[in-house]
Amino acid sequence: MPFIEAHTLERDFPEYADKIKQLYREDLEFKLESERYHQLDKKIRGLEASGVTTDDQNYNALKKMRVQMKDQLYQQIVEFSPAHEPG
């Protein structure tokens, strides 16, 4: 089975790694949505590893859903303002 790299938020947005970790700890909605995103990504990677055809409608619908979820999570990340700044 070929290795298919995960589309983790931390990997795709390394400049926001600290914010992502803080949001995951402090914002239950973000945490749950992030977990759903990672489960969907895992499902898509499983399909890719199994050799699903790129014209498969279900596969393409899942990929579109992943993009939409990532966009929503990204908006939460960039709009996040910590309640307490270090220092």
Domain boundaries, the chain: 28-79
DSSP 54: T
Q: Work out the angle between the directed axes of helices 28-49 and 57-79 (0-180°, nearest 10).
A: 150
Residue 62's identity, in one-letter code, is L
* CA–CA separation, 79 and 4 (whole Å): 30
What pLDDT, in 10s, does the model give residues 42-53? Answer: 999 998 898 888
Q: What is the pLDDT of residue 26?
A: 94
Residue 31's identity, in one-letter code, is K
What pLDDT, in 10s, does the model give residues 14-71? Answer: 999 999 999 999 999 999 999 999 999 999 999 889 888 878 899 999 999 999 999 9
What pTM was estimated for this model as a whole? Answer: 0.84
Torsion 79-5-44-39 (CA) sign: negative
